[in-house]
Amino acid sequence: TAGAPSSAWACLPDLLPLYYRRLFPFSQYYRWLSYGGVSKNYFQNREFSFTLKDDIYVRYQSFTTQNELEKEMQKMVPYKIDIGAVYSHRPSQHNAVKSGTFQALEKELVFDIDMTDYDDVRRCCSAADICSKCWTLMTIAIRILDRALREDFGFHHLLWVYSGRRGVHCWVCDDAARKLSVAARSAVAEYLSLIKGGEETVRKVVLSDPIHPFINHSLSVVERYFCQYAIVEQDILGSKESVDKVLALLPEDILSFPVVLSQYQYFTSRYQYQSNFTILSEIMLQYCYPRLDVNVSKGVNHLLKSPFSIHPKTGRISVPIDLKELNTFDPFEVPTISLICEELERPRADEAEDDDVKDKENEQEAGERRRIRDYKRTSLAKYVKVFDRFLEAMARSRKGEMLQKSDLQKDF
């Protein structure tokens, strides 16, 4: 099961200041949220919320420069950091604004996939626990949603982030995505939802003929993983109780077929029969298809955990996930704050001389350079690289758009 030892919590007061002083990738973070400076005051009008020691929660934090962001974070040492919307005015001054005019204008389109939402279909863990057996569900979720958001909706700039404990988040950062209305966000989330029903609903997936291309695409992803995940790892046919759960999803007339249900062969042989295809698809989807919380995606002003923040209960950093390495991503390998702080302390021989020379230059630049060298010495490095690539892609795309625009305006 997941989770660093509970001593992580106790160490946070010591580790967090170090993390924010020397490891948090502020310059990339600022670069991200400025979005190329195309919109005036985009960073300045962004809401952040902090959870401080002793569970003190403060909203409407905003900063005018990267420097101010750093100073404040180093001063307040937040345990949790959430990112909210870009507002019409600086959030820190919202009380001074005439009532009714302070409004959330834009925000990334976000998705939150939480493992607890799958409790009714996973046998290995429940609640906040995760393990390598159920992590496959996140892999499936990412593959399905990433494809749909890119191919169906035409989005290009998606940042997938490990939440630090039991799920993943997706930040869709395209211009068009940030400008979406509440209704549009809700429509996208509902388009992507196939699991319907709460405690009282047994059969949560109902497919009708013909099957929409989106569902077909999703099914082909699920099929790739289903055998290994559900039959082998989750062993859904391995006990009477879990077999009964599967049977509960079948229509009555199928139960009259004499079958030996403890065999994987049941699924493959039944699968040949076209008429049962829909039912089996429904079962596979119910066990594996991503479960989204529509409410998270709907709200323009919804606050979501920030990438590179720490998860206080596990000590793990919310790191970006490299989709090229998705199959080998292991949440238990994600660095914890104690690990990277420890790695920081390890001396490196070749560095000693460089420090002296460079310190004579501008203090701030030296600090920043040191910080950049710092995270590179730790396990955080590879994740910051993923983030860098993501930022590069957005920068290139912005450049392309500006060229297009200036061509149209004959601006040279």
Partner 1 sequence: MQFPGRRKKLIGSSQNDLYDHCLQFYGQPPLENISLTEFETFAVERLKLLKTVENLGVSCVKNSEQYTKKLDAEISKFFFNKEDGISEYEKRRKDHISHFILRLAYCQTEDLRRWFIQQEMDLFRYRFNDLHSKHKTDFLHKNNLKYETVSAEEKKSLQDKLIASSYGLSGTKVEEHDVYKVPFQDALDLVRTRKVYLLAGNAYIPHHEIVTIVLNDFRTRLSKALAMTARSLPAVQSDERLQPLLSHLSHAYVGQDYSIQKNIGKISLEQIDALSGKSFPLCMRHLHKALRENHHLRHGGRMQYGLFLKGIGLSLEQALQFWRSEFVKGKVDADKFDKAYAYSVRHMFGKEGKRTDYTPYSCMKVILSNPPSQGDYHGCPFRHSDPELLKQKLQNYKVSPSGTNQILELVKGMHYQLACQKYFELTHNVEDAGFSLNHPNQYFTESQKLLSGGRDIKKEVDMSQRSQENPASVTRPSQANSKQAHEEMGDLDSFFQDE
Annotation says 350 is catalytic: no
Q: What are phi and psi of 60, to 5 degrees?
A: 55, 35
Determine, following the binding rule CB under 8 A, whether residue 203 of this chain makes contact with partner 1: yes
The secondary structure of the chain in percent helix, strand, coil, rounded to multiples of 5, reads 55, 10, 35
Does position 60 interact with partner 1 (CB under 8 A)? The reply is no
Of 34, 41, 116, 379, which one interacts with partner 1 (CB under 8 A)?
116
> Distance between terminal CA atoms of the chain?
59
202 binds partner 1, rule: CB under 8 A:
yes
Identify how many contiguous H helices and E strands the chain contains and give both numbers: 15, 8
Q: Which stretch binds partner 1 (CB under 8 A): 38-46, 149-157, 263-271, 373-381?
A: 149-157
**Using CA atoms, how far apart are residues 65 and 42, in angstroms rounded to an integer?**
11
Give min distance, CB of 252 to partner 1, in A. Answer: 11
Q: Which of 112, 174, 233, 374 is catalytic?
A: 112
Q: Are strands 167-172 and 109-114 parallel, antiparallel or unpaired?
A: antiparallel
Q: How many CB atoms lie within 10 A of CB 236?
A: 21
> Residue 6 or residue 364: which is nearer to partner 1 going by CB?
6
> How distant, in Å, are the alpha carbons of 118, 241, 285 from that of 200?
15, 18, 18
Task: Give me the DSSP letters along 323-370.
Answer: GGGGGG--GGGSPBHHHHHHHHHS--TTHHHHHHHHHTS-HHHHHHHH
Q: Which stretch binds partner 1 (CB under 8 A): 38-46, 175-183, 336-344, 346-354?
A: 175-183
Q: Is residue 195 a contact point for partner 1 (CB under 8 A)?
A: yes
119 interacts with partner 1 by CB under 8 A: yes
Using rule CB under 8 A, residue 210 touches partner 1: yes
State which of residues 120, 223, 322, 368 lies at the interface with partner 1 (CB under 8 A). Answer: 120
Site residues for partner 1, 271-310, by CB under 8 A, read 291, 293, 295
Three-state SS for 109? strand
Q: Is 47 a catalytic residue?
A: yes
Q: Does 155 bind partner 1 (CB under 8 A)?
A: yes
d(CA 412, CA 403): 9
- Say whether residue 259 binds partner 1 (CB under 8 A): no
* Residue among 18, 97, 131, 187 that touches partner 1 (CB under 8 A): 187
Site size toward partner 1, by CB under 8 A: 42
Residue 221 near residue 288 (C-beta atoms within 8 A):
no
Binding site for partner 1 (CB under 8 A): 55, 57, 116-120, 151-155, 176, 180-181, 183-184, 186-188, 190-191, 195-204, 210-216, 291, 293, 295
